Structure 1
Amino acid sequence: MTTLDVPSLDPARLDTPTVGDPRLARLSLNQKTVNGWSLRRAVEGCVRHGLPALGVWREPLADVGVRDGAAMIADAGLRVSSLCRGGFFTVPAGREQERAHDDNRRALDEAASLGAPCLVLVPGGLPDGDRDLRSARSRAAEAIERLVPHALEVGVRLAIEPMHPIFAADRGVVSTLRQALDIADPMPPEAVGIVVDTFHVWWEPGVEEQIARAGDRVASYQVCEWITPLPPDALLSRGMMGDGHIDFAHLTRCVVAAGYRGDVEVEIFNADVWAADGDAVIDTVARRYAELVEPHL
C-alpha cells in the first residue's frame, strides 16, 4: 500500500472548487490520472468538474480516431494542454530507428489536429545489452533534431521530458533538466522545449537555475508527488500532491519566473488512484491543486 490509499483521497483542508471557480482556469487533467477512463469519459469528467483542459494520450485517442477525438474535445469547449507521447529514440540505427521517426512524425500530426501546443517526448532507455548512456543520449538528440522541420511545419513543439534517474535504463536516458536543455539549446525554441515534471526534477541540484535557464523553452508543467516508500513498481510511484515530499510552491514560482503561462497538468501513475472512483480523484486533484499550486501561479 502506498501513502495514498483511498481514504486519503478526501482531505478536508479546502472545499472542492466547482465549475466556474477561477482557481481552475489553468488546471489540466492528464488522462493517465484517470487511467481506466476512455477519452469520452475523460472529456465528460473535465466538463462535469469545471476543468478547462485535458492532457491527451495517444492510445485512447486512437480508440476513437484523431478526427473524432479532436471534434469531441472541441465540442466540449476544452483545450488540449499536451499530447503524450512521442520519443523512444534510443533504438539502434536501421529499421527500428526509421519506425520510431515515422511514428513521431505521426504523433506531431496528431498533436496538430488536436490543437495541442506540444508533443511530450520520453527519450527512451538503453537497448538490450547496451551500457553506453552517452551514445544513447546522442541518438536521442539526433532524432529530435531530425524532427525539427516537421515540428515547425505543423506548429507543434517537441517537449523533452527529463526523467528521474531510476528510469534511465528502461525509459529515459535524459535524467536532468540540464541534460534536456543541452539537447534543446542548439535547436529553435519554437520547435524544441522541455517539460518540467515535479516528480522527475524535484531532487535535481540547481533545479532553480535550470528552470531559469529554460525560460521560454518550458513547454509543459506537470505536477504530482514523490511518495515514500516507493511501491514495487516504480512506474506507479507518483502520488497525489501533498502526500509526499515535493515543495510545489517553490517549483511553481520558479516556473512562473521563467515566463511559463500555460496549463498545469496533473499526471499521476498510481495503482490506488487508478482503482479509486474517477470523480473522487478529480475532486481531490482540484482541491490539492487549489491549495498547493494555484496560489503560486
Structure 2
Amino acid sequence: MMPSFFRTLTTIALTSFLSACATTNYDKSEVCSGAPSGKGKQYVITDAGDGYLSRSKDNWPWGGLDLPENTILSLQCVIPSRPTSQPEQRRAVYEIEGTQNLIFGTTSTDGTPNGVLAYETFNRAKSLEGNSIWFTGSVRHGVSEAKNLERYTVKRITQPTIMSGSDLLMIVQVEGAEMKVPLFWDDQSEEFGIPRGSFFESEPTSDQLKVPGVEIPLIKEGIVEIGMSQNAVYHSLGFPKDINYSQFRNRKVEQWVYRDTRTLVYFDDSKTVFHIQRGY
C-alpha cells in the first residue's frame, strides 16, 4: 500500500497535470480588447510540443499542447504588451478552428508568429506530396543521402519533431529507407528551402543551375575539380559549414570549409576553384 505522504504527492502531481491539460475558456472580446485585430488569418501548428503555444494566458508555456497534427488556428489579435523578456516580442491570440477555445503564443522579433505556419504556405508544401523531386548539394539525413540530380518522389509532408528548428519535414524514399528533409519557408523569396542544398520540382537544366553543361556530370557524382565554378561546387557538395576570406599572392581567396568530408575548396577572384585540400 502506498504511504500517505507519497499518495498525497501523487495526487497533487496528477491534479496539476490535469489542470494544465484542461481547456480554459476565455472571453475573446475581453482578451483582445484594444489590441490590433489579426483579421482571422489561418495558421497550422508546426509543432504542438515546442513550447511556443499555450492554453493559458497567464502561465507561459513550458510543455506541449494536446492538439492533433495539422490543427488550424485563426489569429484573433496581437496583444501589444510583451509576454517575455524580449521587448520586440508580442503575444498572439488564436482561436482553434471550429471552436471558441483560445490558444496563446508569441511573435518573433520581426512580428512573425512562432510555432505556426501560414495555412496557405502549409497547403503549398502539401501539394508536393506524390510529386517528383530532384536534389543538389549532397542532401542527407542520418545514414541516408540523396544522389544529386536523381529523381525521387515526395511520399508525404509532415510536422517536424520537437525543437527541430524547421517548419515542416519532407519525407522521401531513398534506397529503401525514408529520408526526412527539413523544409524552411523564406518570406523574402516566398519559396521553401532546405538546409545545405536545393531541390527542384522538375529536372533542372544547366541554365537553372547556372553552370556550364560540362559540369553536370561532376555535380551528379558529388565531386569537385580544379577549374570548377562556384555554383557547380555548391550543387555538388552543398553550402559549406564555414566561408573564410584571405589574400594570397595579391589576390582575394575565398575558402569553403566542409567539415563532414574534411574538404577545403579555394576560389579565386573569378569564383573558380584553384585549389582543393582533402583530409585537413
TM-score interval, normalised by the smaller of the two chains:
under 0.3
- TM-score normalised to structure 1 length: 0.20
**Of the two structures, which has the highest relative contact order with CA contacts closer than 8 Å and spacing of 6 or more?**
1
Decide which structure has greater strand share.
Answer: 2
Larger radius of gyration: 2
